[in-house]
Chain A
Amino acid sequence: MREKVLHLKNVVKKFGGRTVVDIKDITFGTHGIEGLIGPNGAGKTTLISLITHKIGMDQGQILYYKNNKEIDISKKRLDEIARLGLVRTNQIIQDFASLSIRESLLLSLATSKDEQFYKIFNEKKFRKAAEQEINEYLEFFHFENPDGHALSAGEKKLLDIIRCMLLKPKFLLMDEPTSGLAQDQTDRVIEMMKTKTANNEMSILIVEHDLDLIWKVSENVFFMAEGEILIQGAPDEIRKNKTVISKYMGENYAQNK
């Protein structure tokens, strides 16, 4: 068990009168990798968007813990939260049309010191310093043409993940990162997740529909339905939990198991 990273209190979000997210009191980050599962429409992606403030919550408080400090991020902007080390990958594919794969990664690594309107001669030096780290990722994931653009959905998803990893986040929220990926790439993502969370520098919360992956990789699993997190526990417990089975996996599944 580790120190908690996020603490959500009474977080509520409504869309047109319908309550989409309603979290009373939940703590994330006490394990290296935690899973978040639930049926479609449970509010998982919305919850992640609320945490990173891509959308605003109607009420509630989100506390973030870093370097033994408690930071209230309820009102902080998207970019401020990302700079604090709280980063998310996207469920729906997002990319920069003008940037090649390598350029996208260089963007991720650049800090505000590197990015000033009067600094136009620092490119060579910057690239050299970033070379090793970027090449490691490019080789690990077998990118064939890193100076071209990401063309397939799979490539774009991987690019999204690597961009986030390069930020060296303290807490990474992954929203269905392996959907659309071939099995070999999925395995590489899992391997990377395990390596990066081995020390206490990073924790991950992964949202997935691929339950085998969740059981394989998570130390703790949260089950969400109809906007609320109903249960959490070790993978074995959650698998066998009657509520989870009935609300998510269906009667058939239970009988077959």
Chain B
Amino acid sequence: MEQLLSGYVIYSLAFLLIFISLATLLHLQFSLAGIVNFGVVGFWGLGMYSFSLLLVKGKVPFVLAVILACMITGIVSWILGRIILNLDDQAVLVGTLAFATIIEYLSTSEKWLTNGVMGLGTVNFPFNFGKKSLLVYSLILLVFTVLLMLYTYKLKKSPYGRLLLSISDNEKLSQSLGKSTFRQKNIFFTFTCALIGFFGAMAAPLYSFIFPRMIGSGVTFTIWIALMLGGRKRLFGGLIGVIATIGLFDYVIETVIPIPTQYAEIVPNIKFCVYGLMLILVLMFRPFGILGDKKMEIVK
């Protein structure tokens, strides 16, 4: 029982790391560059499926498959970015949402490629340390997550970070200072989407079999509510938010409260219902997250 629990704990933590990274990437895209990406799961799924296809069907070595998956996601996001990033926020929102929906549909319809709803697998860890494989893999994920957060921290205090902020605050004014705003938005979008794809690839071995239903809009929505809840302007906003939502719902509640099987079906429904309500409340009453906004308090 003890062993089972600790294996489950590490498993949960590994997933939390993936989602913390996704939330941090969304933070970079939305809070820094002002890109309203409602298609996060599309890039994540694209990375996940490209990687898995290369690994399982293409017999490509693990590391190379990850790199190629990133590149594929990057190229696709570059093309999408060129089309929609100079439109207004609402257009970017629905455009990215449409993109993610296309990816979700294609993963189901292209059975010859993805096995559709039968699932694609088996995606294994790149090494075999027996029982310790999961732990080692999770440590690797931890390293990447920490690197990402370091990058985010450093970026905010750098000239590029200021450039991104200026673009999201007042794009025309930034242009009038000679900044190539569209080009930089596109480059940054491509870079961060490639990283979203990276974490999609890295998530595949954790699932070991991947299905189209894993890349539905619920994932994007969960990341958004996590970011909004944790504080969109905070470096650790994603971290706090993910722990407060996914950590709480998917792991704490499911471990602590044993749900009888007849109710197991309704737990996801309760979860998303509560998420929806939380998002409404946060946006109306605490737009800068549950911890509030430091600057706003000083001004008051």
Q: Classify A-B as touching or not with yes or no (CB < 8 A).
A: yes
A residues near B (Cβ < 8 Å) are 52, 54, 77-79, 82-83, 87-88, 90, 94-99, 103, 106-108, 110, 112, 114-117, 119-123, 126, 163-164, 167
User: Which of B3-11, B107-115, B166-174 is the contact stretch?
Assistant: B166-174
Asked if B188 CB lies within 8 Å of chain A CBs, one says: yes
Q: In the assembled complex, which residues on chain A have CB atoms less than 8 Å from the CB atom of B181?
A: 79
Asked if B128 CB lies within 8 Å of chain A CBs, one says: no
Known contacts A79-B180, A82-B177, A87-B176, A107 near B162 by CB under 8 Å: yes
Interface string of B155-167 (1 = CB under 8 A from A): 1011111110110
Interface size on B, residues (CB 8 A): 29
The B interface, classified by DSSP as helix, strand, loop or mixed, is helix
Known contacts A119-B159, A120-B155, A163-B177, A97 near B169 by CB under 8 Å: yes
User: By the criterion CB–CB under 8 Å, are A103 and B162 in contact?
Assistant: yes
Q: In the assembled complex, which residues on chain A have CB atoms less than 8 Å from the CB atom of B173?
A: 90, 94-96
Asked if B217 CB lies within 8 Å of chain A CBs, one says: no
User: By the criterion CB–CB under 8 Å, are A99 and B176 in contact?
Assistant: no
Task: Give the residues from 153 to 209 in chain B that come closer than 8 angstroms, CB to CB, to chain A.
Answer: 154-155, 157-163, 165-166, 168-170, 172-181, 184, 187-188, 191
Interface string of B259-280 (1 = CB under 8 A from A): 0000000000000000000000
Q: In the assembled complex, which residues on chain B have CB atoms less than 8 Å from the CB atom of A97?
A: 169-170
Asked if B127 CB lies within 8 Å of chain A CBs, one says: no
User: By the criterion CB–CB under 8 Å, are A79 and B179 in contact?
Assistant: yes
Q: In the assembled complex, which residues on chain B have CB atoms less than 8 Å from the CB atom of A98?
A: 165-166, 168-169
Known contacts A77-B175, A99-B162, A110-B159, A117 near B187 by CB under 8 Å: yes
Complex-state Cα separation, A112 to B168, whole angstroms: 18
The A interface, classified by DSSP as helix, strand, loop or mixed, is loop
Q: In the assembled complex, which residues on chain A have CB atoms less than 8 Å from the CB atom of B174?
A: 96, 107
Interface string of B214-252 (1 = CB under 8 A from A): 000000000000000000000000000000000000000
CB distance from B275 to the nearest CB of A (A): 28
Q: In the assembled complex, which residues on chain B have CB atoms less than 8 Å from the CB atom of A120?
A: 151, 154-155, 158, 160-161
- Please give me the 4 A-B residue pairs with the lowest Cβ-Cβ distance, nearest first: A82-B178, A120-B154, A79-B175, A110-B159
Complex-state Cα separation, A110 to B162, whole angstroms: 10
Known contacts A98-B166, A117-B184; 11 further A-B pairs (Cβ under 8 A) = A79-B179, A82-B177, A82-B178, A90-B173, A94-B170, A96-B174, A112-B180, A119-B158, A120-B155, A120-B158, A121-B158
Partner of B176, one of A52, A112, A114, A123: A52
Show 14 residue pairs from A and B whose CB-CB distance is below 8 angstroms, ordered by the A residue: A52-B176, A79-B176, A79-B180, A83-B178, A94-B173, A97-B170, A107-B177, A108-B177, A115-B160, A115-B163, A120-B154, A122-B158, A122-B159, A123-B159
Q: In the assembled complex, which residues on chain B have CB atoms less than 8 Å from the CB atom of A116?
A: 160
